[in-house]
C-alpha cells in the first residue's frame, strides 16, 4: 500500500515557541522549562552578537580587543556557551560596535494565557 503525502499546508503543523514549550514541558516541569528558556536565550543573544559583528566587518579577535576581552570569550558567547550579563552585552554592542541598545519589556502571550486561567 502506497503512503499518501499530506496536502495540508506546512503552516498547519507550525507551533509557536510557547506552544512548543507547553508540549515539551508541562506545568509540572517548571524548572526544566526555565533551564531550557535560559539556554535558548543564551543562543539567541549569541546569534544576535555574531550577526552584528559580521555586519560591522569585525573578527572575533578585533571585537575582543575593542572591549578588552579574549577572542575565546566572544566565541563562547556567540555559540551560546556563555550566558552574558547585561553589562557585558552593553560592552560588546555599544563599546565594541558603536550600537545603541534599547530595552523593551512586555508580557509574553504565554504569560497572559496562563495568568487568566
The pTM assigned to this predicted structure is: 0.67
Name the DSSP class of 116.
Answer: T
Using an 8 Å Cβ cutoff, are 77 and 69 in contact? no
Query: Going by C-beta distance under 8 Å and a sequence separation of 6 or more, which residues neighbour residue 39?
Result: 80
| Dihedral over Cα of 80, 84, 89, 92: its sign | negative
Q: What is the pLDDT of residues 71-99, one digit of tens each?
A: 999 999 999 999 999 999 999 999 999 99
**Intervals of the chain under pLDDT 50:** 1-11
Amino acid at each position: 500500500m502506497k503512503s499518501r503525502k499530506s496536502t495540508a499546508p506546512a503552516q498547519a503543523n507550525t507551533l509557536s515557541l510557547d506552544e512548543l514549550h507547553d508540549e515539551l514541558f508541562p506545568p509540572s516541569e517548571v524548572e526544566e522549562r526555565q533551564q531550557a528558556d535560559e539556554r535558548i536565550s543564551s543562543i539567541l543573544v549569541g546569534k544576535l552578537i555574531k550577526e552584528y559583528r559580521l555586519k560591522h566587518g569585525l573578527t572575533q579577535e578585533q571585537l575582543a580587543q575593542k572591549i578588552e576581552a579574549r577572542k575565546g570569550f566572544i566565541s563562547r558567547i556567540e555559540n551560546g556557551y556563555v550566558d552574558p550579563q547585561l553589562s557585558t552585552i552593553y560592552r560588546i554592542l555599544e563599546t565594541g560596535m558603536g550600537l545603541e541598545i534599547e530595552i523593551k519589556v512586555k508580557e509574553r502571550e504565554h504569560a497572559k494565557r496562563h495568568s487568566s486561567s
